[in-house]
Amino acid sequence: MRKQFVGVRLRRLREEKGLSQAALARALALSPSYLNQLEQNLRPLTVPVLLKINAVFGVDVQLFSEDEEARLVADMREALTEAGVADGVALAELKELASSMPSVGRALLSLHRRYREASGRLEQVSARLGEEWQATPKPLMPFEEVRDFFYARHNHVEPLDLAASTLHRGSNLIIGNMAPGLMAHLSRRHDVRVVVAESGTEGGRTSRRYDRASRTLHLSADLTAGQRAFHMATQVAFLEQGEELDRLTAQADFSGEEARRLARIGLANYFAGAVILPYQPFLAAAESLRYDIERLERQFGVGFETVCHRLSTLQKPDARGVPFFFVRVDRAGNISKRQSATDFHFSRVGGSCPLWNVYEAFAQPGRILTQRALMPDGRQYLWVARTVSHGAGGYGEPAKQFAIGLGCDIRHAGRLVYTKGMDLSDPDAATPIGAGCKVCERTDCAQRAFPAIGRHLAVDEAVARFAPYRAEG
């Protein structure tokens, strides 16, 4: 943990609890002068003091987390860039704001979201009136709202993990072969019959379809045993966790019913993943196997993508795994899934970085690729990527192919089997990448596809450079 000066956040915590400085010092078993120095940013926060704060007030340590700070910096930077006012705002200033006044930073992001929504409505009105209007950012689409809903929770939903653990214990489900136990549970508890539809039939063209009238759950024959277990567990979520799904979605400020329904499905899928990959056994296995994804696949009877997605959710406060970020992309570069338990920044402005090994995975299908990546702000990450295929059935039917990426901050890399043979001490071994060309500040990248938003180009007809779209200054 690097030195952190958190005076503003500590004073805010004290004011929220209605305590004087002397009272807070007594509660934390600190001297008043030491606490005063902490609040005045004359002394950095230490781990023992942080643990005392957590023990006395039950405050989530994420309040003082470096990862939280980095997430906020990245989001503020993108908001300013998208609004066209990033020029002149130094990265150091954003870091200071995130560190000292995070509530102000989050308020800025809230204002930016409202600006996007208002601009989108204005553009729609202008289009109806037949007026010309410069393109402006659109309001978030419902699926983007749901993505941000999980992002704000670090991709961890504690109530659903607890409910999944209860189901796992009460129904005697067998790790690696849960389909029979879940089928018996649906029949015994809900009088629901599970039917596997033959390939090529109408029922076989959908992965899961529940008929409420006949209380029949139809599953495609093209699914693996692990996928059938996942869909059965998803149906259990809708039948048993409906009130919890409603409570969780009611906490979010969704724009409409479509986003709320998508969030319910996302939460039901989260519950299903927590059932077939129960938290404590899965975390213990991941740690003992040094997060070897292929071995976890075999042990738990599920696919590569399911294991990676579950690994990105292991953020229970008293039993944390490596904080991963998870992404799924297609050949065209579209990111169809992205979940983050930590601070890696997925850009919403333009595409992602072409130097990212997630895209290289398509050139070597089925092979696990590793990459030590260096971001423009100096932070380094370890990325693991591999392709997966989702077949639709028989001959001539197109299959879907994606690249799955799983990444973590380089400080956690030593816990992963994928650093075998890697020299983590070599500062030049990392590949420089960025969040996306339109928000990337690198000036010497030969792969740049777009100029950075808000920066003027250095246009010189007498000079041709390997790196395109060179910015002034």
Residue 21 lies in a domain: yes
Let me know whether 266 and 179 are in one domain. Answer: yes
The pLDDT tens digits for 358-395 are: 999 999 999 999 999 988 878 899 999 999 987 656 66
Let me know whether 331 and 426 are in one domain. Answer: yes
**Helix pair angle (304-311, 293-300), 10° resolution:** 110
Residue 151 lies in a domain: no
What is the average pLDDT value for the chain, to the nearest integer?
Answer: 82
Residue 315 lies in a domain: no
Alpha-carbon gap, residue 186 to 168, rounded angstroms:
13
The pLDDT tens digits for 42-65 are: 777 777 777 777 777 666 555 555
Pick from 277, 283, 168, 298: nearest CA to 230 = 277
Q: What is the pTM of this model?
A: 0.72
The CATH number covering residue 255 comes to: 1.10.10.2910
User: Are the C-beta atoms of 303 and 189 separated by less than 8 Å?
Assistant: no
The yes-or-no verdict on residue 472 having pLDDT over 70 is no
pLDDT of residue 131: 46
Per the structure, the count of domains in the chain is: 3
Let me know whether 175 and 78 are in one domain. Answer: no
* Distance from chain centroid for Cα 434: 17
Residue 99 lies in a domain: yes
Quick one: 348 exposed, middle or buried, by C-beta within 10 A (0-12, 13-18, 19+)? Answer: buried
* Distance from chain centroid for Cα 104: 23
Let me know whether 13 and 84 are in one domain. Answer: yes
Alpha-carbon gap, residue 407 to 324, rounded angstroms:
5
Let me know whether 331 and 268 are in one domain. Answer: no
How much is the average pLDDT of 27-36? 83
Give the range of the structural domain holding residue 360, as residue numbers without chain letter. Answer: 325-432
